[in-house]
Amino acid sequence: MLVLIAEDAEIKINPCKAIPLDFVFVIDSSRSIRSEDYEKVKTFIINLLQFLDIGHDATRVGLLQYGSVVQPEFSLNTYSSRAEVEQAVGDMEHLATGTMTGLAIQYTMETAFTEEQGARPLNMHIPRIAMIVTDGRPQDSVKEVAAEARNAGIQIFAIGVGRVDMKILKAIGSEPHSEHVHLVANFSQIETLISVFQTKLCEGIDYCDLGIHGCEHSCISLPESFVCRCMKGYILNLDGKTCSKIDHCADGRHGCEQEFMNTEDSCVCKCRKGFTLRPDGKTCSVDVCQTVDHGCEHQCVTSGSSYMCKCFEGFVLAEDKRSCKSRRAFLDLVFVIDGSKSLGPANFELVKQFVNSIVDSLDISRTGTHVGLIQYSTKVRTEFTLGQYVTVDSIKQAVRRMEYMGRGSRTGSALRHMFESSFSSREGARPNTQRVTIVFTDGRSQDDVSEWASKAKNSGITIYALGIGKAIEQELREIASEPDEMHLYYAESFEKMGEITQKRIPGFWCECALFYMTKKLQTLENQLLQT
């Protein structure tokens, strides 16, 4: 601990016992730093040196300052005592030029930490520390070269003074940033960091943070070293760094009739092709499906000494009990469309095209799928009810005639209207018919959505929520049916709307020709970019 008392008294030092380091100061000496502030940086360095046990076999210290160019002041093997280093720091002169921080980091990595400049070999596991002090925005790139330096085993402390961009400091400093990145308001406050670094230097360096441990799986820090650990199901090899999978079957006591394999924590039995594992987990029985010409169109399932055919999801077994036919579900489908002013007239027209692209893919008829649509902003308006139109063309014409409301956004009111009216028998809803709602929104609702969304879902209505731009994820989750990954889709902007198309959606969306719809979405995206 450094204790400063009266000018005519002694400065008493209570040094800590620190481990040896290779420590390089990288000091911003640009013109933006005033002369008196430059002296405060030198004082900060000298005070910090009090906690370092400097010597050839202890901590080695180097220093470079930079402006438009890098000027090395002394290297890691120049001085072997604290007094010599302090004298050299005191003799430094201000460069007062530009701010090429990236160039300084590159020099630190490629030159200052070489063995020729006094850095000890990596296999000695001497921590390599770089402390960078800067007061301004670099005139060159720092992100890539700083990452390269950290990957080379250099632990970087980034100290910013004044109006330094914290994002730049974090791009420079090692993680965790809470320990390696510090920002003070002015050079007078830089001394407040002394106690922070005293603790860090006295308690020792986290060897795992240095990234030079070589552990294949994970690294565990010790006071002056580290050990490697392996994940569950693996064992540490004799080199102390790499891991091998544990062979649970090696002792031969598995009792498997045919084959066996290792899992993370045990040995399990397997059967050869044409056989299935019995409930005892060890013996095998003949898989009838593998031995007969079963003729199943989709799947054959062994049942005791016989077999049966099964169909994939969305299909049912035909009368011959072998082939499969589509189980196409007719729907009562209601669109709930956001017509608020945040959408804008041009984008509203594109939403109408989006709706019609889905309508094109539906099997709409008097006995098939029925479609209704409500638009909402501050109020809710039924554009057409279920069963009002029973052909694709008539529905698409009704969608095209829809006029933009362009006011507030009360999604909760729209959900209430959908639940209480849109699926009522008076508006054409049919009994024993799957009920589906697609809610499209691009912003935060001005009222609560959870109550009426819950009531609708509890009544058996499946709700898909499509959110774009400023739509709130929590609201979308409250609206959408579970599970979310099947019923909720969000893109940050119309430019990223194509991300929705990356998801493979079962059930209703397959019936609505997902791949046809996604091509329409991409077309709409391109049109939006031009509006």
Band of pLDDT at residue 503, cut at 50, 70 and 90: very low
Band of pLDDT at residue 176, cut at 50, 70 and 90: confident
What the block records as the tokens of 145 is 């070269």
* Separation between Cα atoms, residue 121 and residue 99, nearest integer Å: 31
* Separation between Cα atoms, residue 522 and residue 499, nearest integer Å: 10
Mean pLDDT of 413-436: 94
pLDDT at 253: 79
What the block records as the tokens of 367 is 């006995």
The domain covering 331-516 belongs, at the CATH homologous superfamily level, to: von Willebrand factor, type A domain (3.40.50.410)
Q: Flag whether pLDDT at 18 surpasses 50.
A: yes
Q: Flag whether pLDDT at 490 surpasses 80.
A: no
* Separation between Cα atoms, residue 483 and residue 143, nearest integer Å: 40
Say which CATH architecture domain 21-203 belongs to.
Answer: 3-Layer(aba) Sandwich (3.40)
Using N-to-C axis directions, what is the helix angle for 35-49 and 194-203, rounded to 10°? 30
What the block records as the tokens of 257 is 């009739």
Q: Do domains 21-203 and 331-516 have the same CATH topology?
A: yes
More confident residue, 456 or 342: 456
Residues 453 and 425: beta-carbon distance below 8 Å:
no
More confident residue, 528 or 295: 295
Transcribe 408-422 into DSSP letters. ---HHHHHHHIIIII
Whole-angstrom CA distances from 202 to 53, 174, 187 are 10, 19, 24
pLDDT at 258: 84
pLDDT at 317: 84
What percentage of the chain's residues is helix, strand, coil (to nearest 5)?
Answer: 35, 25, 40
Mean pLDDT of 230-244: 86
Q: How many residues does the chain have?
A: 531
More confident residue, 278 or 152: 152
Q: What 8-state DSSP symbol labels residue 434?
A: E
Q: Flag whether pLDDT at 11 surpasses 60.
A: no
* Separation between Cα atoms, residue 78 and residue 27, nearest integer Å: 18
The identity of residue 208, as a single letter, is: C
Burial code of 225-235, b = ≥16 C-beta within 10 A, e = fewer? Answer: ebbbebeeebe
H/E element, 36: helix 35-49
Q: Give, rounded to a whole angstrom, the gap between the first and last alpha carbons of the chain.
A: 65
pLDDT at 118: 94
Mean pLDDT of 233-239: 85
Please, is 37 exposed, middle or buried when counting C-beta atoms within 10 Å of its C-beta (0-12, 13-18, 19+)?
Answer: middle
Hey, where are the domains in the chain? 21-203, 331-516
Q: Strand 299-303 to strand 306-310: parallel, antiparallel, or no bridges (unpaired)?
A: antiparallel
Q: Which segment, 124-133, 302-311, 313-322, is predicted with the most confidence on average? A: 124-133
- Residue range 431-468, pLDDT digits in tens: 988 899 999 888 788 899 999 999 999 999 999 998 87
Band of pLDDT at residue 197, cut at 50, 70 and 90: confident
Please, what is the average pLDDT of the chain?
A: 82
* Separation between Cα atoms, residue 408 and residue 378, nearest integer Å: 5
The identity of residue 379, as a single letter, is: K
Q: Flag whether pLDDT at 512 surpasses 50.
A: no
More confident residue, 515 or 74: 74
SS3 sequence of 232-260: CCEEECCCCCCEEECCCCCCCCCCCCCEE
The identity of residue 516, as a single letter, is: Y
pLDDT at 330: 79
The identity of residue 58, as a single letter, is: A
pLDDT at 513: 37
Residues 419 and 455: beta-carbon distance below 8 Å:
yes
pLDDT at 498: 40
